[in-house]
């Protein structure tokens, strides 16, 4: 029996624009508490951080750093100094590439990723390997569409300088066995970055339990605003890493001849930050933390399982059959191009994603040009699934 835990009432967009939204893997809608928090900051409390001696600036700085502490608790980091604010997961991954790995990478060294990776966790390593004459090793998939762990064991060597893996595939929805992968990598002396963009809103994240070296995510994937994200990094690594951007408020001293930089995390946060984004992220994580996450995750799984079952029953081809699936299902409807499917569904007020999902290497690996992708959030329910199935039936009629 399906749990009744739909949170659609918390999201004002569904009152103003009724529609079936099945694209939360791309971005999530925002609850009222996030919208209000950001509007209240701009209306009543706006000030810059770490710059002014006046009350508004001091208050903004306090909230800004409180959010860092809140995120550390949310991720179970050892301390808030391990939390770096970024513009999103993409910047966090690029920060690690430029500041952590670039100066460690020598000719013929190796970086290991998987064929499942989003471009944000693919291109930075591809380009870095090319610039340093290193090798990018791409792990294949097994028959279920999951990362081949035997292949990982076989490629890890003293030449391996980093393993960078997505926690959850944004195409297949598969939950990768990252704890096992981290253990294998650490046994070989290899640090690990986890791209948590698709897991942060759907799985309980404990970076100490995972023992990952880096974990990156975007606020807009977890019901927060765009333009704000987080990079968790173990303190021992952050302290070794130089800044990768330069500007105000990340320095201790500047002279005509040299500059000295602040300790982490502030040395990585040059310039005026996205303060309102941090305020919104604080409200989003408070909202998330106020709910029974175990129940919500169970509810989401039930919706996703029902979605998968109904799609199979409708005769579409589902891409991948992972042992554990998060809230993402990609599929093909007969020989109808995914863009046509999505366009027709949109005419029925059903929002899905169509395309390569920023995973072109995976599409080539699977020998398909694109897919339709439906992804679930806390605001979805069984009726949304039924509307999607009706929309697919309608699409087939239109394209006959």
The catalytic residue positions are: 358
Nearest Cα neighbor of 29 from 19, 40, 39 is 19
Separation between Cα atoms, residue 314 and residue 331, nearest integer Å: 11
Separation between Cα atoms, residue 298 and residue 130, nearest integer Å: 43
**At residue 132, what are phi and psi to the nearest 5 degrees?**
-105, 10
- Do the Cβ atoms of 338 and 355 come closer than 8 Å? yes
Other Cβ atoms closer than 10 A to 205: 22
Separation between Cα atoms, residue 94 and residue 136, nearest integer Å: 16
Other Cβ atoms closer than 10 A to 62: 11
Nearest Cα neighbor of 325 from 1, 6, 25, 20 is 25
- Do the Cβ atoms of 147 and 114 come closer than 8 Å? yes
Separation between Cα atoms, residue 376 and residue 351, nearest integer Å: 11
Q: Can you give the three-state secondary structure of 245-292, one letter per residue?
A: CCCCCCEEEECCCCEEECCCCHHHCCCCCCHHHHHHHHHHHHHHHHCC
Separation between Cα atoms, residue 349 and residue 158, nearest integer Å: 53
Helix (DSSP H) and strand (DSSP E) numbers for the chain: 14, 15
Does the bond joining 246 to the residue before it have cis omega, within 30 degrees of 0? no
Separation between Cα atoms, residue 352 and residue 37, nearest integer Å: 29
DSSP tag of 141: B
């Amino acid at each position: 029996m399906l749990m009744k835990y739909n949170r659609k009432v918390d999201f004002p967009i569904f009152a103003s624009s009724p529609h079936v939204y099945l694209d939360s893997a791309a971005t999530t809608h925002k609850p009222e508490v996030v919208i209000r928090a950001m509007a209240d900051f701009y209306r009543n409390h706006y000030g810059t951080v770490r710059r002014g001696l006046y009350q508004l600036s001091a208050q903004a700085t306090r909230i800004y750093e409180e959010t860092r502490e809140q995120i550390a608790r949310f991720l179970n980091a050892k301390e808030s100094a391990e939390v770096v604010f970024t513009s999103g997961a993409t910047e966090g991954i690029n920060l690690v590439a430029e500041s952590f790995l670039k100066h460690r990478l020598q000719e013929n060294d190796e970086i290991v990723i998987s064929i499942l990776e989003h471009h944000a966790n693919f291109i930075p390593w591809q380009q870095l390997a090319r610039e340093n004459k290193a090798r990018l090793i791409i792990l294949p998939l097994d028959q279920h569409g999951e990362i081949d762990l035997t292949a990982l064991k076989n490629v890890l060597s003293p030449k391996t300088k980093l393993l960078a893996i997505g926690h959850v595939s944004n195409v297949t929805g598969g939950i990768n066995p990252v704890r096992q992968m981290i253990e294998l990598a650490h046994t070989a002396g290899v640090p690990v970055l986890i791209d948590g963009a698709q897991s942060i809103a759907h799985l309980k994240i404990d970076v100490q339990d995972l023992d990952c070296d880096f974990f990156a995510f975007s606020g807009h994937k977890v019901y927060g605003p765009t333009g704000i994200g987080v990079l968790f990094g173990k303190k021992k690594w952050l302290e070794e890493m130089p800044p990768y951007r330069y500007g105000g408020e990340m320095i201790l001293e500047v002279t005509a001849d040299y500059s000295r930089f602040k300790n982490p995390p502030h040395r990585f946060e040059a310039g005026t930050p996205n303060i309102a984004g941090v305020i919104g992220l604080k409200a989003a994580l408070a909202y998330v933390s106020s709910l029974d996450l175990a129940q919500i995750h169970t509810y989401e799984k039930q919706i996703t399982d029902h979605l998968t079952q109904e799609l199979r029953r409708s005769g579409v081809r589902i891409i991948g059959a992972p042992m554990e699936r998060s809230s993402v299902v990609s599929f093909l409807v007969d020989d109808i191009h995914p863009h046509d499917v999505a366009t027709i569904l949109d005419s029925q007020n059903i929002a899905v994603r169509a395309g390569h999902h920023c995973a072109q290497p995976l599409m080539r690996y699977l020998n398909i040009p694109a897919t339709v992708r439906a992804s679930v959030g806390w605001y979805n329910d069984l009726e949304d699934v039924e509307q999607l199935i009706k929309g697919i039936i309608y699409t087939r009629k239109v394209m006959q």
